[in-house]
C-alpha cells in the first residue's frame, strides 16, 4: 500500500459503498463501513486514514453524529458528508463550525470529490 | 259767551287766534306718527282752540271699553296703563255722545245727574261745564273729546260748538290714521317679538342640535375607530391564518420533497456510480472504439444529471431557511421554475426570455422561488388555449432589480385588481386554487423590502413587475 491517500467511506446502502470503492480505489486507498460503529472501528484500526466521507442518514447514528464521535479521538482527519439531502440547518451549522469541510450531494460528482480530497490533504 | 270773551282772554281776534291754533295742531300732527302723542296734541290743541282749560280724549275699544288717551293738562307719564281703562256704561254722558254721534253739553255738573265714575272724574279738577264731541270717521265713532271748565260754569257758544265739532271731525281722520299706524306698530312689534321668540327658540334648538351633533360625532368617531381596529384585526388575522397555512404547507412540502429527493438521489447515486464504473471499464483497450457503448453510458449520465437538476430545483423551492442573506441568482431561479413547470408550458405556451445576465439580489432563494413560481403559475393558468409568456429581467437604477412577467392571458378585471393580493381571494373554482399564491408572494416581496405591480387589460393579458432590492 503505497502513498495513496487513505479514505474511509461510510454509507448504509450496499450499492453506494460498492460503487464508491470501485470508482475511487484507482486513486485512493478506500476503506468502507456500512454504519457509524464500523466507521469508528476502522478509524481505530487505521490511524493513517486521512479523509472520512460519510452518508448522512444511517440507522442508529447519523453521519454528523458519527463524525462528531470520530473527532473526539481523531480531530486531525478531514471530514466530509455525501448525502441525498439538500443542505439542512444541521449541515449548515457543521460547515460553519468546520466540523465538516464540505458537503457533497448525491448523485456524486467524481471530480468534485477528488478535487476536494486533493485540496485538503 | 261772546266772541269778545275770547279776545279779552287771549289778546287776539278769535279768527286769527283760531287759525293759529289750527296751524299749530296740524303742524304738530304732521310731525309725528305716535298715537299717544297725536292724542295729546289734539287734546291740547282743542283746549287751546276753543279756549277751554281742561280736555280729555277717550278712545272707544271693543264697543264697551274706553281708553283715556290724553288729557289737558297732560297726565302723569308714569300713570299705570290699567288706570286709563274705564267701562263705557259707567260713563252715561260719553255713551250718549257716542250713540247719538253728536256733541253733548253739560251746562253745570252740580245740577246734572252724573254716575259715580263721572262724578269722581269731575271732582278731581272741579269741572263745572262740559262739552262732549264725538270723533266720527266714516260713520263710526272712534272716541270722544271732552272739554271742561274748572271751578266755574260757562255757556258754550254756537261758534265754539260748530268749530269744535268741525275740527273734531277733521281730527278723527288723524286719530283713525294714528290708530292704524299704532295697530300696525303693535302688529310689527308683535311680529318682531314673535320672530325674536322663534329666533330664540331656534337658537336653543340649534344649540341643542349642535350639542347632540357633537355627541353623535364623538360617538361616530369612536365607532369609526373601533371599526378601523376591527378591520385591522381581521386583516391581521387573515394574514396570520394565511401565513400559518402557508408555513404549514411549505413545511410539510419541504419534508416531503426532501424525503422524496433523498430517496431519488440514492438510486441516482447508484446510476451515476455504475455509469462511471462502466466508463472506466470502457477505457480498456478492447472497448476503446465502441462509440455505441460510449453513447449509451453518456445517455445514462445525461439522464441522471437531468433528474438530479429537477430534484435540486424541488429542494430549492421548498427549502426551509429563515434567513434573507443568500445570494439569489435571478436567471437560475427563473430557469429552475420553468423546468419545474415544463409539463404545463410545453406545446401550449411560448416562453420568451430577455434576461439581464448575472442579475442578483440578496434574499431568500426558496422564497423568491415561490414568488416567481406563483406568478408564473398564474400566467400559465390565465392562458386558456395557446399563448405567450415574456420574462424580462433588468436592473432599475442601482438599487433594484425588476423581474417582469407578461402573459397573453385572460387579464384581470378592474374591479378586482386591488383584491388579488388579499389572502384567500381567488377567481378559480373551489379546489383549484387556495387564493393564497399572490398574497404569499406579496408578503415575501414585502419581507424583501420590494414591490409588486400589476398592469392588466381584460382579454389582452397581464404584466406583473416584481421589484427586489439588489442589496
From the list A87, A89, A108, which residue is nearest B269 (CB)? A108
Rounded average pLDDT over B337-364: 90
- The answer to whether the CB of A75 falls within 8 A of the CB of A49 is no
pLDDT at B182 over 50: yes
Cell for B146? 271732552
Contact A106 B265 (CB under 8 A): yes
What lies within 8 Å, CB to CB, of B432 at 6+ separation is B426
Domain positions in chain B: 3-191, 322-469
Question: Is the CB of B89 inside 8 Å of chain A's CB atoms?
Answer: no
Q: Quick one: pLDDT band at residue B288, thresholds 50, 70, 90?
A: confident
Question: How far apart are alpha carbons A105 and B169 in whole angstroms?
Answer: 135
The CATH architecture to which B3-191 belongs is 2-Layer Sandwich (3.30)
Length reported for chain A: 121
Please indicate if any CB of chain A lies within 8 Å of the CB of B274: yes
B1 pLDDT band (50/70/90 cuts)?
A: very low
Per DSSP, the three-state class of B402 is strand
Distance from CA of A73 to the nearest CA of B (A): 30
Q: Is A14 on the interface with B (CB under 8 A)?
A: no
Q: What is the DSSP secondary-structure string of B23-46?
A: HHHHHHHHT---HHHHHHHHHHHH
Looking at the complex, report in whole angstroms how far the Cα of residue B281 sits from the nearest Cα belonging to chain A: 10
Of the candidate CATH numbers 3.30.565.10, 3.90.1300.10, 1.10.10.10, 2.60.40.10, the domain formed by B322-469 belongs to 3.30.565.10
- CATH value at residue A47: 3.40.50.2300
Which residues of chain B does A23 touch, with a Cβ-Cβ cutoff of 8 Å?
273, 276-277, 280
Mean pLDDT of chain B: 86
Chain A residues whose CB is inside 8 A of the B321 CB are: 89
- ipTM tops the 0.95 cut: no
**What count of residues does chain B have?**
471
CB B453 within 8 A of CB B465: yes
Q: How many domains does chain A have?
A: 1
Residues of A in contact with B270 (CB under 8 A): 13, 15-16, 19
Rounded Cα gap, residues B237 and A50, in angstroms: 56
Cα-trace Rg, chain A: 13
Interchain pair B273, A26: CB under 8 A: no
CA dihedral over B288, B289, B290, B295, signed as positive or negative = positive
Q: Does A106 touch chain B (CB under 8 A)?
A: yes
Residues 279-308 of B with CB under 8 A from A: 280, 304, 308
Select the highest-mean-pLDDT range: B13-22, B194-203, B430-439. Answer: B194-203
B281-302: buried (b, 16+ CB within 10 Å) or exposed (e) per residue? ebeeeeeeeeeeebeebeebbe
Quote the domain boundaries for residue A25: 5-120
In this prediction, what percent of chain A has a pLDDT beyond 90? 85
Chain B residues close to A106, C-beta within 8 Å: 265-266, 268-269, 272
At which residue does the C-alpha cell 283760531 appear?
B18
**Which residue of A23, A88, A106, A113 is the best one to mutate when testing the B interface, meaning the one whose CB has the most B CBs within 10 A?**
A106
- Of residues A29 and B243, more confidently modeled: A29
Q: Where are the beta strands (DSSP E) in B230-295?
A: none
Residue B10 has pLDDT above 50, yes or no: no
Q: Write out pLDDT tens, residues B43-62.
A: 898 898 888 999 999 999 88
Amino acid at each position: 500500500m503505497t502513498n495513496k491517500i487513505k479514505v474511509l467511506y461510510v454509507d448504509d446502502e450496499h450499492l453506494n459503498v460498492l460503487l464508491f470503492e470501485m470508482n475511487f480505489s484507482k486513486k485512493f486507498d478506500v476503506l468502507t463501513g456500512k454504519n457509524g460503529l464500523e466507521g469508528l472501528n476502522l478509524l481505530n484500526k487505521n490511524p493513517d486514514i486521512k479523509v472520512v466521507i460519510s452518508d448522512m442518514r444511517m440507522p442508529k447514528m447519523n453521519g454528523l453524529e458519527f463524525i462528531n464521535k470520530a473527532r473526539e479521538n481523531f480531530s486531525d482527519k478531514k471530514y466530509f458528508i455525501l448525502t441525498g439531502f439538500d443542505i439542512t440547518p444541521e449541515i449548515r451549522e457543521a460547515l460553519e463550525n468546520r466540523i465538516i469541510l464540505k458537503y457533497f450531494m448525491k448523485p456524486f460528482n467524481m471530480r468534485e470529490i477528488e478535487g476536494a480530497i486533493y485540496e485538503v490533504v | 259767551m261772546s266772541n269778545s270773551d275770547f279776545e279779552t282772554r287771549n289778546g287776539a281776534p278769535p279768527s286769527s287766534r283760531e287759525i293759529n291754533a289750527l296751524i299749530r295742531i296740524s303742524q304738530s300732527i304732521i310731525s309725528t306718527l305716535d298715537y299717544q302723542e297725536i292724542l295729546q296734541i289734539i287734546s291740547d290743541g282743542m283746549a287751546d282752540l276753543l279756549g277751554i282749560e281742561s280736555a280729555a280724549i277717550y278712545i272707544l275699544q271693543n264697543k264697551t271699553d274706553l281708553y283715556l288717551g290724553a288729557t289737558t293738562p297732560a297726565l302723569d307719564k308714569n300713570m299705570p296703563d290699567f288706570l286709563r281703562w274705564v267701562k263705557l256704561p259707567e260713563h252715561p254722558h260719553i255713551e250718549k255722545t257716542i250713540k247719538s254721534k253728536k256733541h253733548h253739553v253739560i251746562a253745570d255738573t252740580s245740577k246734572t245727574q252724573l254716575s259715580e265714575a263721572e262724578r269722581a272724574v269731575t271732582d278731581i279738577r272741579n269741572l263745572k261745564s262740559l262739552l262732549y264731541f264725538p270723533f266720527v270717521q266714516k260713520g263710526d265713532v272712534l272716541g270722544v273729546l271732552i272739554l271742561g271748565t274748572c271751578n266755574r260754569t260757562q255757556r258754550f257758544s254756537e261758534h265754539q260748538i260748530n268749530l269744535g265739532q268741525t275740527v273734531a271731525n277733521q281730527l278723527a281722520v288723524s286719530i283713525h290714521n294714528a290708530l292704524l299706524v299704532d295697530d300696525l306698530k303693535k302688529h310689527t312689534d308683535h311680529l318682531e317679538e314673535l320672530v325674536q321668540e322663534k329666533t330664540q327658540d331656534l337658537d336653543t334648538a340649534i344649540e341643542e342640535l349642535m350639542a347632540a351633533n357633537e355627541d353623535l360625532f364623538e360617538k361616530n368617531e369612536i365607532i369609526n375607530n373601533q371599526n378601523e381596529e376591527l378591520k385591522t384585526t381581521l386583516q391581521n388575522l387573515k394574514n396570520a391564518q394565511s401565513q400559518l397555512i402557508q408555513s404549514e404547507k411549505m413545511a410539510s412540502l419541504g419534508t416531503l420533497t426532501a424525503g422524496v429527493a433523498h430517496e431519488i438521489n440514492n438510486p441516482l447515486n447508484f446510476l451515476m456510480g455504475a455509469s462511471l464504473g462502466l466508463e472506466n471499464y470502457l477505457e480498456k483497450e478492447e472497448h476503446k472504439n465502441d462509440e455505441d457503448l460510449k453513447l449509451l453510458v453518456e445517455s445514462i449520465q445525461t439522464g441522471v444529471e437531468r433528474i438530479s437538476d429537477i430534484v435540486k430545483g424541488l429542494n430549492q423551492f421548498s427549502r426551509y431557511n429563515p434567513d434573507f442573506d443568500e445570494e439569489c441568482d435571478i436567471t437560475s431561479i427563473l430557469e429552475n421554475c420553468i423546468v419545474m413547470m415544463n409539463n404545463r408550458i410545453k406545446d401550449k405556451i411560448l416562453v420568451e426570455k430577455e434576461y439581464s445576465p448575472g442579475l442578483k439580489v440578496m434574499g431568500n432563494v426558496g422564497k423568491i422561488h415561490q414568488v416567481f413560481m406563483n406568478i408564473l403559475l398564474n400566467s400559465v393558468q390565465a392562458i386558456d388555449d395557446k399563448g405567450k409568456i415574456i420574462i424580462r429581467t433588468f436592473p432599475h437604477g442601482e438599487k433594484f432589480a425588476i423581474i417582469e412577467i407578461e402573459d397573453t392571458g385572460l387579464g384581470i378585471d378592474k374591479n378586482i385588481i386591488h383584491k388579488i393580493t388579499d389572502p384567500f381571494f381567488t377567481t378559480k373554482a373551489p379546489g383549484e386554487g387556495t387564493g393564497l399564491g399572490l398574497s404569499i408572494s406579496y408578503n415575501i416581496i414585502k419581507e424583501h423590502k420590494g414591490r409588486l405591480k400589476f398592469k392588466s387589460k381584460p382579454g389582452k393579458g397581464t404584466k406583473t413587475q416584481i421589484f427586489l432590492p439588489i442589496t
